[in-house]
Amino acid sequence: MFRSYSGLLSKRRKSKGGVFQVVSTAVSEPETVNEPVVTWTYSRVIDDEEQKTQNGCFTTLPIRIHKEDHVAEEGSQRFVQDLNYIVTDKTAPKTGCLSSPVGNYASVIYPECLPDRLEVVAYLTELGYLHLEWIVHELISEEHPDQQTSESSADNVAEENDGPTESPRDASLKKLLTKAMTDLADRNQLVGLEIIDTYRNNWLSSKETPTADTFANIDEYVAFRRTNAGINLYGTLMGFSHGTRFTKEDYSTMTDVLSAAERAIIFTNDYYSWAKKRKDSKANVILFLMQHEDLSVEAARERTKQLILQSEYDFVKRREALYKSHPDLAPQLRKWAEVLGAAIGGVHYWCANTPLPAVEEEEPEEEVSMEETNGVVNGEDLVNGAAHPNGAVPDGETVRSAEEDDNSDEEESSEGDDDDDDEDDDDDDEEEDDEEDGAREGEQEVRAQEEEAPPALQPPIVEISPVQLDSSPLVAPIGYTKFVSASEVQSNLMSVLNIWLQVPSRPLSLVKQIVDDLHSASLMLNNIQDNQSSVQQGKSAAHLVFGPAQSMNSAAYTFVKVSKLVNSLNCPGMLDGLLEELELQFIGQSWDLNWRFSLYCPSEAEYMAMIDRKAGSTFKVLTRLMQSTGMKGSTLDFDSLTILMGRWHHIRDDYLSLQVPECKVLDQGKLSYPIVRCCETDPAAKSIIFGLFRQNHDVLPADSKVQILELLHRSGALQDTYHLIRKLADDIEQTLKYIESVAEEPNAALSSLVASLEDVPVPGA
């Protein structure tokens, strides 16, 4: 099939007649040159008056729409006409998927499209949008075969009889794609080939049936949606719409900006489409959050809203960083970055104002009482065991029991008896009276015995509250901490180790989640224990946002959650290993707290032993988990590496905390390595430093901080700490190279990790 597409692109059609109308003006792509590019030419800003139509739109980015929106609408209508010509059943839509009261989707996601290309861009976007709708429909039909139409059932029979055949919908998509490719062939062959390649690798590949459980974390979900939603095609069409072609180098330059933009668009689409698709949803970020973070629908929607706003914030920051790191950025890339911002806002505006079909709720069956139906339910006489025609009791009739009918029959049969039997009846009546008297006396005796017996014990009736409480308050602090304190060093180390260990994708994602959770939970507790440390990497610590008690509760829960995740990996002995390392981590922290409380200055050897337990255990968990789940490298020894990484990470944090102007770490009375080093080399300085710490100030006076820092400089403690950090980095590099030689496999990721280790400022810089 794709050979035929390539053939179409290698030659123009000789004839353009037929049912399909091809809008085509042969335009060759200009070569990419760094000439000034005007960003805003073909679009206009959605003003405040128009934004009043917004239905809950909360985007923080500007909103723009193409001035020739009617041209995009023409592309949508042409697509619908072509589709209804090819697809003869009732599944073909009668209106375009991109149309809305506020404009065409293509007009907001490609606001600066060249006017003569807007129609075909809208056509191709309609094709991709319809593909998604049909894929979802087919997957639902596979799970609910009883709901399939007779036409789809006939197709299934044909497949069973004749072997695997192409579905009618796939055939229709291919016909439409062929037609679109022919159109593009008249415009640009390279762009056409790129689009074909994207279709081959994504939309026309084998269909998956993803669920929220399919993804270990939200990054895996975004990666799936990126392919499933055809995001890869977006960049190609964006370049085509701007009259240029982006190279691999361009994509590499724009990676960070594109990633944030894609997340914003994906989360926005999920947020607004949930009302339409929640009944049959398999993969939606709201469903993912409900299952993985145990949130209610409303809590998951609110969390998704935060993800959207965060993605928009990340986009703006990454775009600023791009401009700063590339002052000579090519004009066409700068325009792309600017248009992306408007596209994110425009997609949000379009989604918020595009009406979705209401979700049909299942109506509960009404309970029918016996009184309301005179004992008849659904046409059946529940009293007499007979059924009335049409389920109704005829007018004027009453429902009688079988006993009443029997009595009536006996009365009728006795009317004809002779009067000669009266005397015998009198004798029988006397005997019956005697028997009734005896039975009555027996009943009285039984009743008396029952009244004397104590009542049987019954358990109290406990009413279960119908209110369902989710875990949103429990997981909020840990989620916040993970956001503000991501550890790049651990992530880089995992990339290095995985080249040797070859951990499969899903276990690797779980290991990363486990390590991130452990890091964040430990950090939350440390911030509370460090005399209410208020700042974490320039942002408020979790306990200031959610309270100390809730933050401690969240940290404790996270340790339980991590244990469950480790257990789910089915690695023998790994859960015991995790608990051992956690125990060592708590022991190390206990000595850190003990020295601070008792104002005892440990020796350097004691301080190193504390670090090995407190910081080294996290890195040891990382390596042990990766070795347990990896396909290779189970015999490699990483013990020395984990000790060195723990020391480097902890001492570097100690050192950097004294380089900031406020030096809030001194308010906590924390015994960092530079202070331990200073006290060991200069006893006089030790007396001054601990004398100042004994003053019990909530905030150490600025003069006292300056005095301590001068002592650290004068004693050479800061310089010694700097040299120790550099030495630890060199030892780590040497250890990694030794492991590389033992593994007999070169590791290209070593350079990036080593570079990150050397990023330490000189004292006083």
Answer yes or no: are the C-beta atoms of 225 and 308 closer than 8 Å.
no
- Minimum mean pLDDT range among 115-129, 342-356, 477-491: 477-491
Banded model confidence at residue 521, pLDDT cuts 50, 70, 90: very high
For the chain, the C-alpha Rg in angstroms (whole number) is 38
User: Which residues are 539's β-sheet partners?
Assistant: 536
Answer yes or no: are the C-beta atoms of 333 and 254 closer than 8 Å.
yes
Residue 758: HSE in the Cβ half-sphere, 13 Å Cα cutoff: 9
Q: Does 417 have pLDDT greater than 70?
A: no
**Percent of the chain whose predicted confidence (pLDDT) is above 90:** 27
Residue 65 three-state SS: strand
The mean pLDDT of 370-385, rounded to a whole number, is 40
Answer yes or no: are the C-beta atoms of 259 and 324 closer than 8 Å.
no
Which residue bears the tokens 């001054």?
688
Q: Give the Cα separation of 283 and 278 in Å (integer).
A: 10
Residues near 64 by beta carbon (within 8 Å), at least 6 away in sequence? 40, 43, 44, 45, 46, 108, 111, 342, 345, 346
The mean pLDDT of 12-31, rounded to a whole number, is 38
Which pLDDT score, from 0 to 100, does residue 662 have?
Answer: 79
Longest dimension (CA), the chain: 138
- Minimum mean pLDDT range among 178-187, 376-385, 487-496, 672-681: 376-385
What domains can you pick out in the chain, each with its CATH number?
43-140+168-352 (1.10.600.10), 473-756 (1.10.600.10)
Q: Does 339 have pLDDT greater than 90?
A: yes
- Beta strand pairing call for 376-377 and 64-66: unpaired
Q: How many CB atoms lie within 10 A of CB 150?
A: 7
Q: Does 295 have pLDDT greater than 70?
A: yes
- Minimum mean pLDDT range among 396-400, 465-469, 639-643: 396-400
Answer yes or no: are the C-beta atoms of 147 and 141 closer than 8 Å.
yes
Which pLDDT score, from 0 to 100, does residue 753 have?
Answer: 81
- Minimum mean pLDDT range among 142-156, 515-529, 579-593, 663-677: 142-156
Q: Does 542 have pLDDT greater than 80?
A: yes
Of 18-32, 38-52, 80-94, 636-650, highest mean pLDDT: 636-650
Which pLDDT score, from 0 to 100, does residue 201 have?
Answer: 53
Phi, psi of 64 (to 5 degrees): -130, 155
Which residue bears the tokens 């590339």?
326
Closest CA to 573 of 615, 629, 635: 629
Tokens of 507: 């276990």
- What is the secondary structure of 501-546 as a DSSP string? H---HHHHHHHHHHHHHHHHHHHHHHHHHTTS--EETTEE-HHHHH
Which pLDDT score, from 0 to 100, does residue 526 have?
Answer: 87
Q: Does 46 have pLDDT greater than 70?
A: yes
Closest CA to 557 of 286, 290, 294, 214: 294
- Minimum mean pLDDT range among 255-259, 491-495, 516-520: 491-495
Q: With b meaning 16 or more CB within 10 Å and e meaning fewer, what string describes 72-84?
A: bbbbbbbbbebbe
Q: Give the Cα separation of 171 and 1 in Å (integer).
A: 11
Which pLDDT score, from 0 to 100, does residue 112 have?
Answer: 95
Q: Does 158 have pLDDT greater than 80?
A: no
Q: Give the Cα separation of 389 and 523 in Å (integer).
A: 75
Residue 166: HSE in the Cβ half-sphere, 13 Å Cα cutoff: 11
Give tens-digit pLDDT for 678-688.
999 999 999 99
For the chain, the average pLDDT equals 75
Residues near 540 by beta carbon (within 8 Å), at least 6 away in sequence? 534
In 319-388, where do the E strands start and end? 376-377, 380-381
Closest CA to 332 of 443, 410, 245, 391: 245
* Eight-state DSSP code of residue 201: I
Give tens-digit pLDDT for 596-635.
888 899 999 999 999 999 988 888 989 998 988 888 888 8
Q: How many CB atoms lie within 10 A of CB 315?
A: 25
Q: Does 356 have pLDDT greater than 80?
A: no
Which pLDDT score, from 0 to 100, does residue 123 have?
Answer: 87
Banded model confidence at residue 1, pLDDT cuts 50, 70, 90: very low
Which pLDDT score, from 0 to 100, does residue 141 have?
Answer: 46
